[in-house]
Amino acid sequence: MAFIELNNLIIDEEYLDLLKDSGLDSFEALIEYADGEVVKKKATRSVMRLEVKALDGTAEVFYLKRHREKKPCKVSSLFKLPEGARNEWDMTISLAADGFDVMVPVAFGERHLKGRMSETLTLTKEVSDTVRLSDYIPALKGTAGARERLRIVGEMARLVKRFHDSGYNHQDMYLVHFFFRSSDGKMFLMDLQRVHKRVELPVRWRVKDLAQFVFSGRGAGGLSSTDLVRFGHIYLGKDKFESEDKKLIAKVLAKAARIERHDANLRERAKRG
């Protein structure tokens, strides 16, 4: 990937001509774009799917994320690692450079508004023909389904191990953020706005990610205790858990239980309105 700065955007040169031909090579054009399919819309952010046609009639599909964010004050920013649209852009590029399968970063832009507010946008290429593993795994049935589930669990464990060993933590490592493409076997991690990278990842960040994975994988996620044990063996690279491994597992399970209680409380409050 090679990027240039143009019209208040950072653009991957590979897509520059396509965006120019479509009149989408400026921050203003993308922040005001309204012809796509709205996938998600909240008060401060939205996601839109858009199809961009080249002059030869071929088309590419992109996702446009637009955020309105409050910048942290200078004092708090000294003690807190960055999160949000710019961090997701930077981490996507970093992960791609480290050989991970992620969404393709196409364009990024930011402008400052009054006070500490800013508007950001991120354009990424669609990761086609994928399925969320939170949908795929529960649908696996019978003997063949069980074999496929074990294979998928192994692939997830290897992905998470490499992710952590490379110094990354996710902070939202729920099953809904794993995507799988059966045509080439690639597995993608999505929603990277809270990802950080360190020279060496502290244990507490491993625990948080793994606990989120365990919480989301159990129950509706379709993963059994056997699946999670297999995940642990592959993630730790051991056929038998040792004393230190068991201490780590205990921390993960305790954190997963806290997440489950917190989630139950949130759902109960939602019921009461």
Q: How far apart are CA 128 and CA 51, in angstroms?
A: 13
Question: The tokens of 51 are what?
Answer: 């199809």
pLDDT in tens, the chain (273 residues): 899 999 999 999 999 999 999 999 999 999 999 999 999 988 888 999 999 988 888 889 999 999 887 766 554 444 466 678 899 999 999 999 999 999 999 999 999 887 778 899 999 999 999 999 999 999 999 999 989 999 999 999 999 999 999 999 999 999 999 999 999 999 999 999 999 999 999 999 999 999 999 999 997 889 999 999 999 999 999 999 999 999 999 999 999 999 999 988 888 888 886
Beta-strand relationship, 117-125 and 178-181: unpaired
Residues 6+ apart with CB under 8 A from 121: 27, 30, 31, 64, 65, 66, 67, 85, 107, 108, 109, 110
pLDDT of residue 194: 94
**Assigned token pair, 12:** 């991957």
Give me the CATH code for the 131-272 domain, please.
1.10.510.10
- Per-residue confidence (pLDDT) for residue 104, from 0 to 100: 94
Is the torsion defined by CA of 59, 23, 31, 116 positive or negative?
positive
CATH fold of the domain at 3-125: Phosphorylase Kinase; domain 1 (3.30.200)
What residue segments make up the domains of the chain, in order of their start?
3-125, 131-272
